[in-house]
Chains A and B, each alone.
Chain A
Amino acid sequence: MNLAPYLLLATLEGLVQASVFALTALGLSLVFGVMRVVNVAHGEFFTLGAVGAWLCAMLLPGHPAISFAAALVAAPLAVGALAWAADRLILKRIDYDPEATIVSTIGLMYVIQQVVLMTFGPDARAVDAPFWYTIRFPWFGWSGYKVFIIVVAVALVGGLWLAMRHTRFGLIMRATQYDRETAQNFGIPVDRVYAAVFALGAMFAAVAGVLVVPNSQAHYLMGHDPLLMSFVVVIVGGLGSLPGTVAAAVLIGMADGWLSVFFSPTLAKIFSTLLVALVLVFRPAGLFGKAVRA
């Protein structure tokens, strides 16, 4: 058997995976980096993005590209607003206590997931891709839409990177991340920065959700895997480090693609969960990270 076509396909699929992981994980990493809290409901923001894309496709008949473009804007905004409200109503009140945040975001995860179950229903639903274009390889055809996923992911990750480096808001975020109290003393409204960062993190997950729907399907439990993989990516890449997160997303997305050619997906997941646990135990700063300021 000639393995080359399989490996090429695995590489391409791995790149798509890596793009989705990078977007989702960057949201989680941003929130952890700046606010030092773990958002377990992150996967549900991903689901809400996907459901938003489906809703737009239902409400806006006509060419799928129109509803898709609308979803790409509206879904992240709606999810961002929800996350902002969650920050104000829950996280702020428990003063961002790390353990209480995990417990309450587990609660938020169940609330969102079950509300989606009650309204959207238990079935998986498909959404048409905004365009159809097939790239022909000698062995197989590959959907051009997947290239679009990669392009959008690269653009957004690059955009976030530039924004963190070169804008005033990026500077404020980095200052808050570096030292919350000093930032506050210099007049930075830390409260509002937190709310904005939490919303921004959720929006990244929502964009990933919108992008994924035409490729897979929307389902009320679809947030589980992205949440797990985001944990893997963020922790292997070093908690709170954006370049590390991107590097880990590419590495793990590709590894996932290749490994699932040879192993069952469940076995691959067992490996990655154990990897996360062992990295946290033995290399808490991540495989690529430097020691984090306490």
Chain B
Amino acid sequence: MRNLRLFALTIAVLAGLFGVQFVISGYPVLALTRILILAVFAMGYNVLMGYTGLVSLGHALFFAAGLYGAGLAAYYGGVALPIAFAAGIAAAAVLSLVVGLLALRTQTVSFMIVTLMFAQAGYLATLHFSAITGGDQGLSLPAHARSFSLLGQEIALTSATARYNIALAVFAVVLLALYALTQGPRGRLFAAVRENPERTRMLGYDVGRIRLLAFTVSGTISGVAGALYGLMFGFIGSSFAEFRSSVEVLLFTLVGGPGTLFGPLVGTTVMTLLIDRLSGLTSAYLIAVGVLLIVLTLWFPKGILGTIRDRWAPWLR
């Protein structure tokens, strides 16, 4: 394909992630499962923020749409898990299309505030309708929603190995899809809109449609992560819809390197491990989030992989 070295790296990373489960066991498997799912969230965010240059402060809304769409379908509808998963993704896709149509009428600061306000309204709605959503306390999915059958095989989500491999499979599909999207002509258009929207428009492209496509893809992938997270761990709660989620996904992307294929994975890994460590030490672990946001904007706006790309490896995009 177009970027052979990046493609080789993609295959190598996926192979490594598959192999690592035979080496580690216990808590690290669980941690890595969470990292993979949250990395999918950050990869979705990165499509909009990194590749297209639109900074949203409301992606918790789409993660939560996937989470609640899938979780409520499984909890109340009692449908099979693959169908619940699809329902979550569909909810996020529809919501991101609608919010995108409205929010993309604004730009930069207004865009950030509009996305923030929509997400805040969504979060408050999960609290307000707590009779259905369980609000703060959340809902634990019942036993029948903790396993499903695939090709005649019964798969229990209580098994750590099953969870890891499902998360890895979804991660791999999203990663390969994003490779195809971002390294191809669409990816060029995203970058063109990011770097110079006026010139892109002058060349005859519909900037509004490109942005809407990026927004919807971004929101839908965030919803994939949310649906997966809810079903895997059998819990849905409004804390996932909080402003903090939107900030964390922004931070993951910033740390790893916006506009790079592997930036979200790197950023999510580094930050999840750091937050895990710190929250064992102090209840005020969010201070690290704050300090990092300031340090990154001041000195490392391109993140880890963005800096490596600019210095040594221009193909890392």
- Structural contact, A266 and B298, CB atoms closer than 8 A: no
Of A63-71, A97-105, A205-213, A252-260, the segment with at least 4 beta carbons within 8 Å of chain B is: A97-105
| A124: Cβ under 8 A from any B Cβ | no
Cα distance A29–B272 when bound, in Å? 36
Interface string of A95-119 (1 = CB under 8 A from B): 0001110111011111111110110
Pick the contact of B294 from A104, A115, A269 — CB < 8 Å?
A104
| A270: Cβ under 8 A from any B Cβ | yes
Q: Give A94's nearest chain B residue, CB to CB.
A: B297
| A168: Cβ under 8 A from any B Cβ | no
Cα distance A248–B289 when bound, in Å? 34
How many chain A residues touch B (Cβ–Cβ < 8 Å)? 41
Chain B positions within 8 Å of A99 at CB level: 55, 108-109, 112
Pick the contact of A110 from B103, B117, B118, B286 — CB < 8 Å?
B286
How far apart are B177's CB and chain A's nearest CB, in angstroms? 27
Chain A positions within 8 Å of B286 at CB level: 110, 113-114
Cα distance A112–B291 when bound, in Å? 10
Cα distance A112–B293 when bound, in Å? 13
Of B63-71, B84-92, B121-129, B224-232, the segment with at least 4 beta carbons within 8 Å of chain A is: B121-129
Of A131-139, A173-181, A275-283, the segment with at least 4 beta carbons within 8 Å of chain B is: A275-283
Cα distance A93–B290 when bound, in Å? 17
| B137: Cβ under 8 A from any A Cβ | no
Which residues in chain B, 90-121, are within 8 Å of chain A measured between CB atoms?
A: 102-103, 105-106, 108-110, 112-114, 117-118, 120-121
Which residues in chain B, 247-265, are within 8 Å of chain A measured between CB atoms?
A: 247, 250, 254
- Structural contact, B112 and A102, CB atoms closer than 8 A: yes
Which residues in chain A, 239-289, are within 8 Å of chain B measured between CB atoms?
A: 264, 266-267, 269-270, 273-274, 276-278, 280-282, 284
Q: Give B117's nearest chain A residue, CB to CB.
A: A277
Pick the contact of B57 from A100, A102, A266, A278 — CB < 8 Å?
A102
| B131: Cβ under 8 A from any A Cβ | no
How far apart are B176's CB and chain A's nearest CB, in angstroms? 30
Q: Give A97's nearest chain B residue, CB to CB.
A: B297
How far apart are A212's CB and chain B's nearest CB, in angstroms? 22
Cα distance A127–B128 when bound, in Å? 31
Pick the contact of A281 from B105, B285, B292 — CB < 8 Å?
B105
Cα distance A267–B126 when bound, in Å? 11
Chain A positions within 8 Å of B112 at CB level: 38, 99, 102
Q: Give A263's nearest chain B residue, CB to CB.
A: B128
| B197: Cβ under 8 A from any A Cβ | no
Give 19 A-B contacts (CB < 8 Å), ordered by A residue.
A99-B112, A102-B57, A102-B112, A103-B250, A103-B296, A104-B294, A107-B292, A110-B293, A111-B294, A114-B285, A117-B283, A270-B121, A273-B117, A273-B124, A280-B106, A280-B110, A280-B113, A280-B117, A284-B110
> What residues make up the interface of A, taking CB atoms closer than 8 Å to B?
37-38, 90, 93-94, 98-100, 102-104, 106-115, 117-118, 122, 228, 231, 235, 264, 266-267, 269-270, 273-274, 276-278, 280-282, 284
